[in-house]
Amino acid sequence: MFGLRKKSKSRPRILFVQKPPGGGSATGLYDLVAGINKSLFEPVILFYEHNYYSDRFKELGVEVLHLNKSGNTTPATGMKRNILTGTGLSSLNVYRSTKKIYRILFNELPVAWRISRIIKAKDIDIIHHNNDLSLNRPSVIAAAIARKPQISHVRWLTDYSSDKIAYFLDRNTSRFVDFFIYMSKAIEKTYVPLGIAAERGEVINDPFDLKIYVEALSFSEQIRNEFGVTDKDNLISNVGRIMPWKGQDYFLESLVEVVNAFPNTKALVVGAPEPGQGSKDFYQELKKKAKELGIYHNIIFTGFRKDIPAIMAASDIVVHSASEPEPFGRVIVEAMASGRPVIATAAGGAAEIFEDQKTGILVQPKDATSMSKAIIQLLGDKDFARKMGNLAQVDVKNRFTVEQHISAVQNIYSRILDKER
């Protein structure tokens, strides 16, 4: 499974392949690359397109490559089938399956060949695919062509029971991968059907630079002033990409009872729509829904923000409202790191992050009523909310440090390279 190395190096080169232009996967990768011991490993980033994170990685002094020269990201070409967006059998699914086969033959294989040439030209030692098998099939094939060891860092929940083609392809593709990093136990369980041996994988949670969230506290007043939120107002934030499965619609519904009980409540919906998956239409539906619910003047749609730690610091409560299983839930940990009480839906990896009613509150997905009750509980008991936020912050410091994450990942690199020698 491991390729033969041409020569010994003092600093093995790690090629990180990042297909999505943003989101939690890019943020997690940035934290990993920023903290990696560069005297031991030399990171190289390969994006499919130039994006916001391209310049951020360059600022770290890291070599950044782009598969395509276009300055725009490639729009999504249909809805990806997984636990979050899965559908049953239909003529539409047959069409999608046919389209998938066509894409593999005439799109993914040529891309794989191009990436394999980059691997050889840049003298790469290990390929680190920063997401699931289906999304990174071209780079997995490329690493196999180049005969280089590879790691799949899985950050997505895939429902193989509803997509037999994906199951067949990923089961066979997985044989080329030397090691799997699962972002959560929930993700690990979805890969069990592929027959991956336990010793070929490990659950490693994402890292969080905790000092960023502590430093952001000094900007909390500035953020509240920007949005016209006074000291007498309650500020609740919902942070995440604007997509149907993120459940912002249920969040808005939950606020009706909250505003009735606490009229001085303001809510930030932080995030921007993305290409594909009905995201832009959903964004417009959310604004319309806020008006229909009579809470439009209590809601602030901020769009994309770079200052998420400051947003967290300015908030009294953070609500994670995913209506479908969440692969992990970075926003939840970010809120905890900021010392803020967080409410999250109990599905997927989100349910693994904190202890219910102690370091956070779990509610059922698609249940606006239970969400509103949890918000009202926290707003009505400030001491309880403050204690929860403090305990959550301590918990994060013990479990989600950058140092722990970097050490675990670098140990995997070392083990792989040792097997090659």
Longest dimension (CA), the chain: 69
Tell whether the model's pLDDT for residue 71 goes beyond 80.
no
| Cα angle value 17/19/22 (rounded, 5°) | 115
Domains within the chain, CATH numbers bracketed: 13-207+401-420 (3.40.50.2000), 210-399 (3.40.50.2000)
Residue 269: per-residue pLDDT: 98
Residue 105: per-residue pLDDT: 61
Contacts of 115 (CB under 8 A, 6+ apart): 17, 46, 67, 138, 139, 142
Tell whether the model's pLDDT for residue 342 goes beyond 60.
yes
Residue 136: per-residue pLDDT: 94
pLDDT in tens, 316-334: 999 999 999 888 988 999 9
Rounded Cα distance between 220 and 66, Å, is: 36
* pLDDT bracket for residue 96 (50, 70, 90): low
Residue 23: per-residue pLDDT: 79
Rounded Cα distance between 245 and 16, Å, is: 28
Looking at residues 168-174, what average pLDDT do you find? 93
Tell whether the model's pLDDT for residue 78 goes beyond 50.
no
pTM value? 0.79
Tell whether the model's pLDDT for residue 340 goes beyond 70.
yes
Residue 20: per-residue pLDDT: 86
Looking at residues 183-188, what average pLDDT do you find? 93
